[in-house]
Chains A and B, each alone.
Chain A
Amino acid sequence: MKQGNAVLSVDKLSKTIGKRKVVDNVSFHIDQGEIFGFLGPNGAGKTTTIRMLVGLIRPTSGQIRIGGYDLQSQYLQAIRQVGCIVENPECYPYLTGRENLELFTRMVDTIPTERIDEVIEFVELDQRIDDPVKTYSLGMKQRLGIAQALLGNPQLLILDEPTNGLDPAGIRELRSFIRKLADEKGISVFISSHILHEIQLLCDRVAIIHEGRVLTTERVKQLVNRPTFVEWHLDPIEKGKDVFEQLSYISHLDIQADQGKVLVQMPPDKIAATNQHLVENQIQIMRIHPHQMTLEDIFLQITGSDTIV
């Protein structure tokens, strides 16, 4: 009954809640060992999509296949391939970390009890595992959440906004966990986020969702190479302007002579070549400052409007 090589394939998925189309005709797929980002602002339909992927919500239409099994008709086989944290990493606060894991292990016959110690070691929670969960920090709850998601040896790990509420150290730690999972165990990871930077650092491919629709699915490398704004502080400005005007890849030019800078829109991988070009024309360059591309910038480019809220 297995079909296809993708670990997860989503085909024309839609969900209507009340009169609102929360998810509209979403399709994408995730290959083995791939870290896939699901990027969109809050309220774009990310969580609803994730809830459909793990069987918490019934799709209005469309198909989800996990490890080749159809999630509707072969629910148990399909969901066996998945480990997930939906929204917050919740566990029973009145039980200890180990008791929580034991509880979830008992729910599935195929998980041997030794597996509990393996996952505890993997998420490095051995020190506090026998303490009640209510005494855990958010970072530790997050790690316990990942531990429970890994119990069933999943092929696909689904994480909904995993860095929410974590401090920078916690975020770095989480990133290294996820990389380790994908690289060492070949697990595919699906991560949703509303922060471009986060996806950029971690993911191989990304789908951008807005108002329930997927706007684009591309490689992260491609995405970050979209034209961005770069500030050039140079002297003399007029001469610099002439040089920029000759370059074909520059799409927008804004002279701010009083501040001694030129703002141009260009692909970031052309910065070095542009710099060389300016130097060859005897222009002094004081500073090059590429603007950090934000999700808003990409939305602006893709939709050509500023409807993002």
Chain B
Amino acid sequence: MSNLIYNEMIKMIRKKRLLVITLILIVLIPIFTYAQYKMLQNTIKNVGSSNWRTILQQQIVDQQNRLASSRVPEEYKHLIKLNIQQRQYYLDHNINPNAPGAPTFVRGFVEQGISLFLPLLVIILAADIVSSEHSLGTIKLLLTRPVPRWKILLSKYIALLLNISFVMILTILLCYLISGIIFGYKGWTFPVISGFQSKGEELITDYVHVLPQWKYILMAYGLAWFICIVIGTLSFMVSVLMKNTASSMGVMLAALISGNLLEQVAHSWPALKYSAFTHLRLTDYLAGNTSLIPGMSLPFSLTVLSAWAIVSLVIAFATFTRQDVLT
């Protein structure tokens, strides 16, 4: 079995998939770092102070002004109210939610990237893992060896999991190293608040606790890793079902993007909470950002995502071990 996984890793590396992903990260992270820096400069200029307390206070005032506007929809007003309470909590406890530093950037990157960017990288890895064997015709060589089919598929899946884990670690490392050039490399022990909950318009702070930033980052990347594995598993199934790499990538991209878009309307269409693609922003539970969909919680999201992953795996294995290879 380890030999089979080794083979799959060789294919992955020699297909230059990992290289492409590393290059994407190396190009995009400096851009995001610079954008972040520009945004910070802008806020300082607008508020006229670089003191974070002043900035935070100004943001609260801005949001209260938005609340007064009649054009803001009801469900957004609800979110804004909770957001104000959260910011106030940070002020009251004298904790800067965005203390500058590379670790803060690492945290911000996963919070922003968990729903689209990281899953996208995973799709690049997973979408052709089986379908490319079909399009190259090498599937005939793989499946005529004295190796049971489920072992071949399992070795591919394990190789995919290893690759996903590698990409996660690579993301943390590159984010830290590149953004540190501008923001400095300190900040692993900055305090971060987690555990906000909401009940109606009330922010519940009973479960709120302060953690060092490194612990928070670890939890956030743990959740991102879970999301990536779920997306990877779904792509893996699509790759088994579709024998064409372009269409398997297309299906996954369409699902991912429409999931991101549909999340915005999910408050008026609650059935969407059973779709895997509306649960991608898992780090929101850590940060205490209230979801638009009522009745969502971290355990619920994890259950829905796990269910999708397990069903996908069952379908992938059942199909692969039975299907006739006609092409």
Q: By the criterion CB–CB under 8 Å, are A104 and B325 in contact? A: no
The SS class assigned to the A binding surface is loop
| Bound form: Cα–Cα A51–B323 in Å | 12
**Residue pair B7, A91 in contact (C-beta under 8 Å):** no
Could you say which of A56, A58, A93, A103 contacts B144, with CB atoms under 8 Å apart? Answer: A56
The answer to whether B11 and A108 have CB atoms under 8 Å apart is no
Chain B nearest CB, measured from A235 CB (Å) = 58
In contact, A92 and B324 (Cβ under 8 angstroms): no
Q: Which residue from chain A places its CB closest to the CB of B155 in the assembled complex? A: A107
Query: A56-B324, A107-B3 are known contacts. Are A86 and B138 too (CB-CB below 8 A)?
Result: no
Q: Which B residues touch A80, using CB under 8 A?
A: 146
Residue of A nearest to B324 (CB): A57
Q: List A contacts of B6 (CB < 8 A).
A: 106
| Chain B CB within 8 A of A167 CB | no
A87, B146: Cβ atoms closer than 8 Å = no
> CB-nearest residue of chain B relative to A78?
B146
Could you tell me which residues of chain A, from 31 to 84, have a CB within 8 Å of some CB in chain B? 51, 54-58, 75-77, 79-80, 82, 84
Q: Do B4 and A86 touch across chains, with their CB atoms under 8 A apart?
A: no
Contact with B along A172-190 (1 / 0, CB 8 A): 0000000000000000000
Contact B136 A56 (CB under 8 A): no
Extra pairs beyond A17-B326, A88-B137, A107-B4 (4, CB < 8 Å): A57-B325, A75-B146, A80-B146, A90-B137
A77 to B143, CA, bound (A): 14
A148 contacts chain B at the CB level, 8 A cutoff: yes
Tell which of B142, B143, B322 has the most Cβ of chain A within 10 Å.
B143
Q: Which positions 114-157 of chain B face chain A at CB distance < 8 Å?
A: 136-138, 140-148
CB–CB B141/A79 < 8 A? no
4 closest A-B pairs by beta carbon, nearest first, are A90-B137, A56-B325, A106-B3, A57-B324
Assess whether A104 is in contact with B324, with CB atoms less than 8 Å apart: no
Residue of B144, B147, B324 near A54 (CB, 8 A) is B144
Query: Counting CB contacts under 8 A, is A152 at the interface?
Result: yes
Give 1 or 0 for each of A137-163: 1 = CB within 8 Å of chain B CB: 000000000001000100000000000
Query: Does B14 reach chain A (CB closer than 8 Å)?
Result: yes
Contact of B326 among A57, A99, A109 (CB under 8 A): A57
Q: Is the CB of B141 within 8 A of A55?
A: no
With A107-B147, A108-B146 already in contact, the answer to whether A92 and B326 are too (CB < 8 A) is no
Min CB distance, A48 to chain B, in Å? 8
Q: When A51-B325, A57-B325, A106-B7 are in contact, do A92 and B136 touch as well, CB less than 8 Å?
A: yes
A107, B6: Cα distance in complex, Å: 10
A240-292 with Cβ < 8 A to chain B: none
Contact A87 B140 (CB under 8 A): yes
Q: How far is the CA of A170 from the CA of B263 in the complex (A)?
A: 60
**What residue of chain B has the Cβ atom nearest to residue A158's Cβ?**
B144
| A95: interface (CB < 8 Å) | yes
Known A79-B146, A84-B144: A90·B326 in contact at CB below 8 Å? no
